[in-house]
Amino acid sequence: MATVAKRNGPYRVGEVATLTRVSVRTLHHYDRIGLLRPTARSDAGYRLYAGADLLRLQQILTLRYLGFPLARIGELLDRPDFDLVAALRIQRRILADRVGELGRIDAAIGDLLARREATGDWDWTLAARASEEVGRGLERKKDEMDKLYTPAQMERFAALGTEIPKEEIAAIEQGWTALLAEVRAAREGGLAPASAEARTLADRWDELTERTASHYRNDPELWQAIGANHDRGAFEGHDRAPQAGDFAFIEEVKRAR
**CATH code of the domain in which 21 resides:** 1.10.1660.10
- Residue 4 is assigned to a structural domain of this protein: no
- Residue 6 is assigned to a structural domain of this protein: no
User: Is the same domain home to 190 and 108?
Assistant: yes
pLDDT exceeds cutoff 70 at 68: yes
pLDDT tens by residue, 8-25: 668 899 999 888 888 899
pLDDT at residue 231 in the model = 78
What is the average per-residue pLDDT within 41-49? 92
What is the average per-residue pLDDT within 204-219? 90
pLDDT tens by residue, 88-130: 777 777 777 778 878 888 888 899 899 889 999 888 788 887 7
| Structural domain ending residue among the three candidates 78, 97, 112 | 78
| Structural domain ending residue among the three candidates 32, 47, 78 | 78
> Which pLDDT band holds residue 4 (cuts at 50, 70, 90)?
very low
Q: What is the dihedral of CA 18, 21, 26, 32, to 10 degrees?
A: -60
User: Is the same domain home to 147 and 57?
Assistant: no
User: What average pLDDT does the structure give for the chain?
Assistant: 83
Q: Tell me which amino acid residue 131 is.
A: S
Domain span at 181: 84-255
Contact indicator for 73, 64 with CB cutoff of 8 Å = yes
User: Is the same domain home to 67 and 168?
Assistant: no
Measured between alpha carbons, how far is 87 from 189 in angstroms, rounded to an integer? 10
User: Is the same domain home to 33 and 49?
Assistant: yes
What is the average per-residue pLDDT within 206-226? 88
User: Is the same domain home to 93 and 174?
Assistant: yes
> In total, how many domains does the chain have?
2
What is the average per-residue pLDDT within 33-48? 93
237's CB contacts (< 8 A; 6+ apart) are: 243
pLDDT at residue 2 in the model = 45
Question: Comparing 35-44, 203-212, 230-239, which segment has the lowest mean pLDDT?
Answer: 230-239
User: Is the same domain home to 58 and 89?
Assistant: no
| Structural domain ending residue among the three candidates 78, 107, 130 | 78
Measured between alpha carbons, how far is 255 from 177 in angstroms, rounded to an integer? 24
pLDDT tens by residue, 171-208: 898 889 889 988 988 888 889 999 999 999 999 999 99
Dihedral sign (CA 139, 142, 148, 150): negative
User: Is the same domain home to 123 and 56?
Assistant: no
pLDDT at residue 136 in the model = 67
- Residue 150 is assigned to a structural domain of this protein: yes
pLDDT exceeds cutoff 80 at 236: no
User: Is the same domain home to 88 and 102?
Assistant: yes
User: Is the same domain home to 122 and 243?
Assistant: yes
1-5, 65-69, 159-163: which is most confident: 159-163
